[in-house]
Amino acid sequence: MSSDVLQASRGLSPPKGEAIAIKGISKRFGSIVGVDNVDLHVEAGEFLSLLGPSGSGKTTLLMMLAGFETPSSGSITLGSRDLTHVPPNKRGIGMVFQRYALFPHMSVAQNVAFPLKMRGLAKAEIAPLVEQALARVRLQDYGGRAPAQLSGGQQQRVAVARALVFQPPVLLMDEPLGALDKKLREELQIEIKTLHASLGVTIIYVTHDQEEALTMSDRIAVMDKGRIQQLGSPVSLYHEPNSSFVADFIGKMNFLKGIVSGLDDRSIAITVSGQTISVARSQLGGRDDVAIGRPVQIAARPESLSPTQNGEGAIAGDIETTIFLGSHRTLIVRSDDGTQLQVQVPSSHRDSGVEQRGRAFVRLDPGAVRVFAGED
């Protein structure tokens, strides 16, 4: 371990990220299942987010990677090293905690120096590495301060510097920006992304903010009930969710109830709010046990719904309210069969005939919806 750091301090090639292979890992707390048989392969240098609602097992999975929880079953491999039973202090994986966990009795520089001190480096070797790590997070002049004298964002940057100073191949972050306000969060997102790009370290990033996951990640693992529900790039998760859970969790989504009214080997006809649309079989997410007469759910993004003037082939309803959002507006429409729909309208659509109140007709773009069968 310390030889890696030594090499780095002598200016040899910086260590790159390493791959992590998680195989069949589970964690049970008595009868509660925190993580349920998760398989996950994280590529070297990848930025992977664990995204999911509260209690979905993200932290538990991260704690097992860091060595703070022992898996009930399964294994973890870093590069070619089996980590499953390695104690946390021997893993050499960096970690950033949600509330920073900076040592309050040490200065910023001492905090950052701590991992190096624990690795037995001499004082003279530590100083330049600490300086370099602080410079990386633009805090080179803050080494002498106490953590309590820094703002939340600065404290989190110190935590990042401390986790990276020993050049770990993998960095774990558990909702690192959860305690910060929106603007600061966006600033730090960019900063973390930049660091990731320049260091090539593998990052596993826990968040329950789907926007954050979409903007930062190479891939996202959406978790629920201790399992990975879907793993994929932000684009594929957004456009091709394979369950209504993922569809609902990522981005804004309308759900309409439909009945399968026709079927062939390439397309499906669905009756929804009195209209019949035809979708391709490839738009079917998850289980594909569709049959004529069965109910299905149609998931449509607000941008794939549009208001029209006439009711021909459109869903009729009443506008409940209009929300102005700068580049576009969102109409909240209550369809005649009671479903609430969000319809996105470009702001320039002044003359589209859409009223603030009153009747509206909403057209569905059949090519842009997902269909889920066999779910309620």
Ligand X SMILES: Nc1ncnc2c1ncn2[C@@H]1O[C@H](COP(=O)(O)OP(=O)(O)OP(=O)(O)O)[C@@H](O)[C@H]1O
Our finding on whether 153 is near another protein (CB under 8 A) is no
One of 54, 80, 310, 356 touching ligand X (CB under 6 A): 54
One of 40, 58, 297, 319 touching ligand X (CB under 6 A): 58
Question: Taking CB under 6 A as the criterion, which residues in 13-42 touch ligand X?
Answer: 29, 32, 34
Our finding on whether 114 is near another protein (CB under 8 A) is yes
One of 26, 49, 56, 242 touching ligand X (CB under 6 A): 56
SS3 at position 18: coil
Closer to another protein at the Cβ: 105 or 266?
A: 105
First to last CA, the chain: 52
Please choose, from the candidates 239, 245, 297, 306, the residue with its C-alpha nearest in 3D space to the C-alpha of residue 268.
Answer: 297
Our finding on whether 356 is near another protein (CB under 8 A) is no
Our finding on whether 84 is near another protein (CB under 8 A) is no
How many residues touch ligand X under the rule CB under 6 A: the total is: 12
Our finding on whether 59 is near Mg ion (CB under 5 A) is yes
Closer to another protein at the Cβ: 90 or 359?
A: 90
Query: Among another protein, ligand X, Mg ion, none, what binds residue 272 when CB lies within 5 to 8 Å by partner kind?
Result: none
Query: Among ligand X, Mg ion, another protein, none, what binds residue 231 when CB lies within 5 to 8 Å by partner kind?
Result: none
- Written as one string, the DSSP assignment of 24-73 is EEEEEETTEEEEEEEEEEEPTT-EEEEE--TTSSHHHHHHHHHTSS--SE
How many residues touch Mg ion under the rule CB under 5 A: the total is: 1
Looking at 55-63, 100-108, 277-285, 296-304, which segment touches Mg ion (CB under 5 A)? Answer: 55-63
Smallest distance from the beta carbon of 114 to another protein, in angstroms?
A: 5
One of 92, 176, 241, 285 touching another protein (CB under 8 A): 92
SS3 at position 221: strand
CA distances from 162 to 90, 113, 137, 307 (A): 16, 7, 10, 53
Our finding on whether 52 is near ligand X (CB under 6 A) is yes
Q: Which residue type occupies 147? A: P
Per-position x/- string for 200-219, each x denoting binding to another protein as judged by CB under 8 A, each - no binding: --------x-----------
Q: Give the other-Cβ count within 10 Å of 30's Cβ.
A: 5
Query: Among ligand X, another protein, Mg ion, none, what binds residue 52 when CB lies within 5 to 8 Å by partner kind?
Result: ligand X
Burial class (CB in 10 A: 0-12, 13-18, 19+), 368: middle
* Rounded distance between C-alpha atoms, residue 370 and residue 373, angstroms: 10
Looking at 55-63, 89-97, 281-289, 365-373, which segment touches ligand X (CB under 6 A)? Answer: 55-63
CB–CB of 1/165 below 8 Å? no
- CB within 8 Å of 210: residues ≥ 6 apart: 51, 249, 250, 251
CA distances from 161 to 141, 146, 203, 265, 364 (A): 14, 15, 14, 56, 49
Our finding on whether 103 is near ligand X (CB under 6 A) is no
- Written as one string, the DSSP assignment of 85-138 is T--GGGS--EEE-TT----TTS-HHHHHHHHHHHTT--HHHHHHHHHHHHHHTT
* Rounded distance between C-alpha atoms, residue 250 and residue 246, angstroms: 6
Our finding on whether 55 is near another protein (CB under 8 A) is yes
Per-position x/- string for 164-203, each x denoting binding to ligand X as judged by CB under 6 A, each - no binding: ----------------------------------------
DSSP 155: H
Closer to Mg ion at the Cβ: 18 or 174?
A: 174
Q: What's phi and psi for 360, nearest 5 deg?
A: -145, 150
Q: Give the other-Cβ count within 10 Å of 280's Cβ.
A: 12
CB–CB of 298/283 below 8 Å? no
Looking at 72-80, 103-111, 128-136, 317-325, which segment touches another protein (CB under 8 A)? Answer: 103-111
Residues that bind ligand X (CB under 6 A): 29, 32, 34, 52, 54-60, 208
Residues that bind another protein (CB under 8 A): 1, 29, 54-55, 59, 63, 66-69, 87-95, 97-99, 101-105, 114-115, 118-119, 148, 162-163, 166, 174-175, 178-179, 208
Residues that bind Mg ion (CB under 5 A): 59
